[in-house]
Amino acid sequence: MGETVINSRYELVRPLGQGASSTVFEVRDRQHGDRLRALKLVWEGADEDLLRGEFFRLSRLDHEGLVKVHDLDRNRALVRLDGVEIHPGRLFLVADLVPGHEPLGVLEGIPEGARDRWLRGVTRDLASALWHLHRHGLVHHDLKPDNMLVVTQKSGAQRATLIDLGLAARPGAGGDGARGTLAYMAPEALAGGGDHRVDLYSLGATLFHLAQGRPPFSGRGSQLIQQILQDQPTLQQPWLSPEMTALITRLLRKEPLQRPQSARR
C-alpha cells in the first residue's frame, strides 16, 4: 500500500477544505470499489468529542438533506499527501462525498428572474432537514452558508444539503456557553440558551445572506452582539418576492415567539 492510504483502505486524493478543528479530504474507499468519499480528520490537540458526536448523531439520522456517515476510526500509521504528514492516532470520520457547490456561487449564475424561485427551493430543503433534526431532539446550532452545499441532481433539479453537524446537540446540552457562528446566532443563543427556534433564526440569517450577499449585521465583537440584540435588519432586494421578504424578516425576529414555531411552517 502507498503512503497516501489510511488504514489500508482510504486513499487520499486531495484536500477539500478545513474548519476550526479539522481538515476534510477527498478519498477513495478501496473496500467499496474506489468510491469517492469525504474523510474529516481532527487536528492534533483538537476536541475529538465534536467529531465523535457528529458521527453518532448522523449515524442515527436518515434524510436526503443530511450527509450519510460510514466510518469512525483512528489513523494507524504515518501517511503523507503533498508534503502534509498525518500522524498515527488521529481520529477521522468518513461520509458521503457531496458533489455540490457553495450556494452564493450557484446563486450568481442564476438569472434574476429565477432567483426567488431558487431561494424558495433552498428554504424548503433546509427547513426539511432542520425539521428532521428537531424531530429527533437535536438543534443544529451552526446553520450558515458555509455549512451547506447545493447539489445538482440527475433530473437537473438542485437541492441544498447540510454538511456539518459538529455542534448539533439536544437543547440545553451545551451548558452555558454559546454555540455557533456569531453573525448567524439568535439573541437568546448568545448566552447559550434557546431551543430549536435558534435554528429558525439562523435559517433566516442564512437566507438573508444569500439574498443580500452579506449577513444581516456587519459589526464585529461587542458591536455585532449589540446589533443582534437590538437592531432589526432591513432586507432590500428587487428580485425577492414580498412573501420571501416577509418570511425572512419573521425568521429574524428577536423574540422566539414571533418567529415561525417549527421548521414545518
Q: Could you confirm whether 142 is annotated as catalytic?
A: yes
CA neighbours closer than 13 Å in the CB half-sphere of residue 135: 12
Q: Which of 125, 142, 146, 164 is catalytic?
A: 142
Bridge partners of 39, per DSSP, are 25, 94
Cβ atoms of residues 11 and 5 within 8 Å: yes
Let me know: does 42 contact 90? Beta carbons within 8 Å: yes
Total H helices, total E strands in the chain: 6, 11
CB 191 within 8 A of CB 175: no
> In degrees rounded to 5, what are phi and psi of residue 248?
-60, -40
217 Cβ contact list (under 8 Å, min separation 6):
183, 224, 227, 228, 231, 233
Just list the catalytic residues. Answer: 142
